[in-house]
Amino acid sequence: MESSILDSIGTEIVGVMSPVSICMFLVVLIVYSLYSSTTSDSTPPLRTAANLVYMENPSDSVTQKLEGSLLNALVFVIFVAVVTFLLVLLYYYNFTNFLKNYMRFSAFFVLATIGGSIFFEIVQHFSVPIDSVTCFLFLFNFSVVGVLSLFSAGFPIVLRQAYMVSLGIFVATWFTKLPEWTTWTLLVALALYDLVAVLAPGGPLKLLVELASSRDEELPALVYEARPTVSRDVGNRGSPPLQLLESGSVELQAISPDNSNRIRTQEEENGGRGGNSEFTGVEVRNFANERGVSSEEDEEESGQEEISPLVELMGLGNEREVTREGVELSSRGIKLGLGDFIFYSVLVGRAAMYDLMTVYACYLAIICGLGCTLILLSVYRKALPALPISIALGVLFYFLTRLLMEPFVVGTATNLLMF
C-alpha cells in the first residue's frame, strides 16, 4: 500500500513554516517600528506598477477608493500575466541563460536598492552612527554575496535560505507602502490570478511548468528549499535500499539486492576501463534502525522561483520532478515559492499598521491556510495554487477582527468586564 505523505510531513512542514513565520515577524517588526497608519496617511503614495491608474487620497470617498483600487488591481494583474507569458515565450525558445542573468540582476537590484532604502530608514530612525563609505561597502558586499549564494553552488544552504527570507522581507516591506485599499484589492486579485494561472487550461504558470517538465529542466526562478531529509521509518516498512543515480540529474530509485550486486559489478568493470560510464550507481543504505537517525540527501537543487506559488506532490519512486514552482513536497523536502513569503508578509504587515490584534489573527489564518493547502495536496496529488486559501482566510480574519472582535474586546476591557 502506498504510504501517505502525512506519515512524514511534520518535519517538512515545520521546515517551511518556520522561515515563513520569521519573514512575517520581521516585516511586522519593521513596519511597526518605522511606519504606522498616521505616517502612511500623511506621506504621499508611491507611483508604482500597482497604482498606475488611481492615486488614493485620504479625502476620497469610499466609492472612489473602491473603484480606483479595483482598477489598479486589474491593471497590475494584467501586467503580471503579460510578463509571465513573455517568460514562457523566452523559455520556449531556449533563452535560459538570459532568464538566469535577469534573475541575478533582479536579486541584486532588490538587495541593493530596496534593501538599502530600508537600511537607510532604520539608520535614520534609530540614529545609528555610520559613515557613507562603510554603508556603501556593506550594501555592496551584502548584495554580491546574496546573488552568489542564490545562484551559485558551493554555498551553505543556511546562507541561501537566509537570503531568500531577506528578499521576501524587503519586497513585502516595500509593498506595505501602497495605499490601504489598493493593498487589499491587490492581494485578493493576485490570489484569484494564482488560481486561474495554475489550474486553468492554458494558464501561463501551467504552461511554464508543463514545458519544464517535458524538457526535464530546472526553471530559473526563486524557491525556498528546506533541508532535504529521508523518513526515519523507511527501513521499518521493509523497503529496499535506495540507489542514487547520476545521469545529468538526480533520481531516487528503489532497487533489489540482485540489482545492487549487478550495479556493483558494473562499477568494478567500469573502474577497470577508467571509469567512463554513462552513469554511476551509488548504494545508499538505511541506518535508521541501527543508529536511530535519518539519512539526508546532500544534493541541492538550483531551481528557484519568482512568482505565483504552486504545490506539487512528488513520489519516492522512479518519477522525476514535474514542477519547479512554489511549494513542492518530494523526496528532497518542501519548496516554497518566494511569492508566498512576499504576499503573506504583506498581509500581516498591512495589519500591523492598524493593531497587533489583527496581526495575530492574520498570522493564524495564514498558517491554517498553508496547512489546508498541504492537506489538499495529500488528497488530490496534483499541482495546486498556494495563495488563495491563505489570502482568503487572512483577509477574512482581518476584517472580522477589526470590525467585530476588537470593538468587543476593547469595550469589555474598558468596562472591566470578564468574558
Task: Tell me how far apart the alpha carbons of residues 377 and 361 are, in angstroms, rounded to a whole number.
Answer: 24
263 membership: H or E segment, kind and range: helix 257-272
Residue 405 makes CB contacts below 8 A (sequence gap 6+) with: 357, 361
- Residue 352 C-alpha cell reads as 500591523
C-alpha cell at 121: 530608514
Say if CB 77 and CB 387 are below 8 A apart.
no
216 is catalytic: no
Active-site option among 7, 131, 233, 340:
340
Residue 239, CA distances (Å) to 9, 236, 252, 392 in order: 18, 8, 13, 41
Count Cβ atoms within 10 A of the Cβ of residue 60 and give its class: 0-12 exposed, 13-18 middle, 19 or more buried.
Answer: middle
Ranges of beta strands (E only) in 215-295 are: 223-225, 242-246, 250-254, 280-284
Q: In what order do the strands lie in the sheet with 280-284?
A: 250-254, 242-246, 280-284
SS (H, E, C) 395-419: HHHHHHHHHHHHHHHHHHHHCCCCC
Q: Catalytic one among 7, 41, 60, 194?
A: 194
Q: Is 7 noted as a catalytic residue in this protein?
A: no
Q: How many CB atoms lie within 10 A of CB 350?
A: 28
How many residues are there in the chain?
419
Provide CB contacts within 8 A for 418, sequence distance 6+. Answer: 412
Active-site positions?
Answer: 194, 340
